[in-house]
Homo-oligomer: A and B are copies of this chain.
Amino acid sequence: MEIGIIGLGLIGGSFGLSLKKNGHSIMGYDHNKEHLQKALELGIIDKASNVSRIIDSCTCIIIAIPVNATKHVVYDVLNKINPEQVVLDVGSTKAKICSFVKDHRNRASYVAAHPMAGTEYTGPEAAIDGLFKGKVNIICDRELASIDALSKAMTLFESVGLSTIYMDSVEHDEHIAYVSHLSHITSFTLSLTVQDIEQNAKNIYNMAGSGFRSTARLAKSNADMWTPILINNKENLLVAAKAYQKHLESFIKALENADSSNIHDLILEANKIQDALDK
């Protein structure tokens, strides 16, 4: 299958590497010319191209760009495709994009997806063959996509090792605020706080155990990618962040009161996340 990828960063690039390995031919485009050139050099794509030529040639078009730009690009691409083609987007927020294209005459050719995979790095150099292996992909509002589009999308997703669950796009954004976007805010905040006291990077490096490293890892995440995600999912994220503030306040109160029994209970309650993470 001829596949086009618009956006050749971590996610788009990793699709390129993984799909090429499965024998697909990949045309790629990135509005950043250096990234496009790099993607070609790194073997992420077979051919550097542009959006028009991708629409002219590709059965499947994967859009992997910052979420603030996605809805317009999805809409424009849907304007120009024929019924055999399928358009996928693989960004971290889904409700606004799905709402924007809801009434498009070619809505049935669009599959809204969110592969739960990534790292804290960015750009084509960050692309990894195998990034999606064993990971979960969330397809939103599946009932609005045609069986043919879904089937083509599933073939691609399965071939890179993703297993799929289905969800309403509004519900997706609510939940993802808690299990992904909030983690980024807490990591960014942790980093800002530690930098207050540790002006000296060497001190952080020396004193930081693996616990701090894993908690602060997401603080390295790319600002160009994450600013639009956070803004895009602002309403849900504010609900999550305020719930977090409330729990933090309870923890701090227990600490102020040196209330060992309360702290012990809070930790035991927090420990329950283990059931979810160790499955």
Residues of A within 8 A of B (CB): 116-120, 135-136, 138, 165, 174-176, 178-180, 182-198, 201-224, 226-228, 230-231, 234, 237-238, 240-245, 247-249, 251-252, 255-256, 258, 260, 263-264, 266-277, 279
Contact B178 A198 (CB under 8 A): yes
Whether A244 pairs with B179 at a CB distance below 8 angstroms is: no
28 pairs from A and B in contact (CB 8 Å cutoff): A116-B206, A116-B207, A117-B209, A117-B210, A175-B203, A178-B198, A179-B198, A179-B212, A180-B208, A186-B189, A187-B215, A188-B251, A188-B266, A188-B270, A189-B270, A191-B272, A193-B243, A195-B272, A201-B276, A201-B279, A205-B277, A205-B279, A208-B276, A214-B217, A228-B260, A231-B263, A241-B252, A245-B245
User: What is the distance, in angstroms, from A92's C-beta to the closest C-beta of chain B?
Assistant: 9
Q: Does the CB pair A183–B255 fall under 8 Å?
A: no
Cβ B211 vs Cβ A180 within 8 A: yes
Nearest chain B CB to A123 CB, angstrom units: 14
With A117-B209, A214-B217 as known contacts, state yes or no: A258 contacts B244, CB within 8 Å.
Answer: no
Taking a contact as CB atoms under 8 Å apart, the answer to whether A194 and B182 are in contact is yes
